Amino acid sequence: MKTTLDELQAFVAVVDAGSLSRAAELLGQAVSATSRSLARLERKLQTTLLRRTTRRIELTEEGATFLQRAREILAAVEDAEEQLAARRQHPAGRLRVDASSPFMLHVIVPLVAGYRARHPQVELELDSNEGYTDLLEHRTDVAIRIGRLSDSTLHARPVGSTRLRVLASPAYLEAHGRPRSVADLARHTLLGFNRPDTLNHWPLRDRDDVPLHVTPQLRSSSGETLRQLAVAGQGIVCLSDFLTWQDRREGRLVALFPKQTLDVRQPINAVYYRNTALSSRIGSFVDYLVESFATLRFGD
């Protein structure tokens, strides 16, 4: 075989990163070394895999075809290495985990110490995105998604669920009064999401006895941002228990309409590619997350 694994890794890294400099950073090597690896690969294959311009790098038709096989080869080598590690019952290697910032901060981060103590040879790489994450594009091994799933190409394992509640801070209620009915919300400042708009459906019923859809006066893409705005007394918000349970326990936020709130729960799933064997790393992390989540008490 003329091609080396280092050359394949350099090629895939450049495609994923979109630039030689970023690829070199991901690989932990000089830009010149990454460039030489890519040049050697193209020379051996006697074809151009990437077109380079001053603004971007894009695949040629031959490069796109070769990329798929290169990924398969690297995955096969990685799987072989993981199988050896699994035989020793010690998951090892890098594990890239993606979750929204609120879930990362309030659920995953507190569990990191316990997971690392159990699996010290796994190198965690934690990434946060507020929207949909393409696992392949972001080189993500497992992502935590909250809400209904629609991508059938992914395998999903349920982690748990989290209830939605309408909340406000004591300072806001003192300044603006406590709404006594759902209709009263029209006279208050509402905090909500700018995308997707489905997150602005609150677990209350309006005058027509259908789930309440609100039009927020203050919006954000981040649940954590909305939580902090609510704690600061900027308005009324609807958020998941995993994000607000400590605030409710310590009195920074108060649940509104406790008797009128519908029991609406958001499913939480760990997702990964269906056509990829579940590695020991992913299995160890998801097992620990499911186990730990079951012991958490987010409710009243």
Instruction: Say which CATH number the domain at 55 has.
Output: 1.10.10.10
Let me know if residue 128 belongs to a domain. yes
d(CA 165, CA 207): 19
Let me know if residue 261 belongs to a domain. yes
Say what the pLDDT of residue 53 is: 73
Let me know if residue 235 belongs to a domain. yes
Let me know whether 149 and 187 are in one domain: no
Asked if residue 136 has pLDDT above 80, the reply is no
Q: Name the DSSP class of 105.
A: I
Let me know if residue 277 belongs to a domain. yes
**277 band by pLDDT with thresholds 50, 70 and 90:** low
Strands, E, within 80-153: which ranges? 93-99, 122-128, 142-146
Say what the pLDDT of residue 180 is: 92
d(CA 34, CA 138): 20
Say what the pLDDT of residue 36 is: 92
For residues 239 and 57, the model is more confident at 239
What CA–CA distances, in Å, run from 98 to 231, 269, 271?
Answer: 26, 12, 10
Q: pTM above the 0.85 mark?
A: no
Let me know whether 154 and 191 are in one domain: no
- Give the total number of structural domains in the chain: 3
Range of the domain at 230: 162-265
**206 band by pLDDT with thresholds 50, 70 and 90:** confident
Q: Name the DSSP class of 199.
A: G
Structure confidence by residue, pLDDT tens digits, 83-105: 766 655 678 888 999 999 999 99
Q: Quickly count: other Cβ atoms within 10 Å of residue 257's Cβ.
A: 19
Average pLDDT, the chain: 88
Let me know if residue 153 belongs to a domain. yes
d(CA 185, CA 97): 38
Say what the pLDDT of residue 120 is: 93
Let me know if residue 298 belongs to a domain. no
Q: Name the DSSP class of 265.
A: E
Asked if residue 294 has pLDDT above 60, the reply is yes
Let me know if residue 300 belongs to a domain. no
CATH number at residue 137: 3.40.190.10
The tokens describing 23, both together, are: 């690829």
